[in-house]
């Protein structure tokens, strides 16, 4: 599911088009671009950037669109301009492989340095990049605890209270005007939240997939789906699969 074609006029979006929800009694904003803003801490959270995915494929001799890093960083810059966060947290799989950050071209390296200037930046380690970010501002951590919330890459069944995670790239399908529409989404039952993938060439995993089983109380589960200019919040029972 390629997201780049869905965001032609992203600069027109405002926080009023976000979904304001609660996760473990902490207020958060779900942005249509796929970032999460936590006003209480002036914290911006994104997940699964998969930077340098095209380069990783090229190293293995496979063709892949080469624009992913540039497009993903441009979207991240929009969110940073929009919210002026004090802290940025990236929830793992920040790079598509272990070599991604070390081999990052200077242009993209400088872009990240500019975005990080004057703020804290935390790279949560993921399964694609377990060794952390190399030569970039900020700190690499396995997980982060803050005011009752815990930020990690992969959701942990049985440890849901206040967990904000990535890894699964949640997506959902609704029927609209006789057509099925599939979108990446924030998935939450109010206790745990799983983030959509932020990388523009990442795929998605349906909320009904077996990998999602046991993570949510489906009675309270809502898919906050990314639209072109707003979030669409749909209860799990109203999704199709």
Taking only the tens place, the pLDDT of each residue in 155-203 is 998 878 999 999 999 999 998 777 899 999 999 999 999 999 999 988 8
% of residues, the chain, pLDDT over 90 = 69
What does the domain layout of the chain look like in residue ranges?
4-238
pTM metric for this prediction: 0.90
Give the right CATH number for 4-238 from 2.40.10, 3.30.43, 3.60.21, 3.40.50.
3.60.21
Do the Cβ atoms of 31 and 21 come closer than 8 Å? Answer: no
Do the Cβ atoms of 83 and 48 come closer than 8 Å? Answer: no
Mean pLDDT of 41-56: 87
**One-letter-per-residue 3-state SS of 50-105:** CECHHHHHHHCCCCCCCCHHHHHHHHHHHHHHHHCCCEEEEECCCECCCCCCCCCC
Mean pLDDT of 13-35: 90
How far out from the chain centre does Cα 91 lie? 7
Contacts of 62 (CB under 8 A, 6+ apart): none
Question: Higher-confidence residue: 87 or 1?
Answer: 87
pLDDT higher than threshold 50 for residue 124: yes
Q: What is the pLDDT of residues 54-82, one digit of tens each?
A: 666 556 666 666 689 999 999 999 999 99
């Amino acid at each position: 599911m390629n997201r780049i074609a869905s965001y032609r006029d992203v600069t027109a979006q405002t926080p009023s088009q976000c979904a304001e929800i609660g996760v473990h009694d902490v207020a958060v904003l779900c942005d249509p671009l796929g970032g999460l803003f936590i006003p209480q801490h002036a914290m911006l959270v994104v997940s699964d950037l998969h930077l340098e995915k095209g380069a990783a494929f090229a190293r293995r001799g496979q063709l892949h669109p080469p624009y992913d890093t540039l497009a993903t960083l441009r979207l991240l810059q929009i969110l940073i301009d929009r919210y002026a966060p004090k802290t940025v947290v990236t929830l793992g799989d920040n790079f598509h492989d272990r070599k991604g950050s070390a081999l990052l071209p200077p242009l993209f390296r400088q872009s990240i340095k500019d975005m990080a200037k004057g703020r804290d930046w935390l790279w949560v380690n993921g399964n694609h990049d377990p060794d952390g970010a190399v030569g970039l501002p900020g700190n690499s951590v396995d997980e982060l605890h803050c005011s009752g919330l815990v930020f990690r890459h992969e959701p942990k069944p049985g440890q849901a209270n206040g967990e904000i995670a990535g890894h699964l790239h949640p997506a959902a399908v609704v029927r609209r005007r006789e057509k099925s529409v599939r979108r990446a989404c924030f998935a939450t039952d109010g206790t745990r939240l799983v983030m959509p993938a932020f990388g523009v060439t990442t795929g998605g995993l349906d909320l009904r997939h077996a990998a999602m089983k046991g993570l949510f109380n489906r009675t309270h589960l809502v898919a906050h789906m990314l639209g072109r200019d707003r979030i669409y919040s749909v209860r799990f029972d109203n999704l199709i699969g």
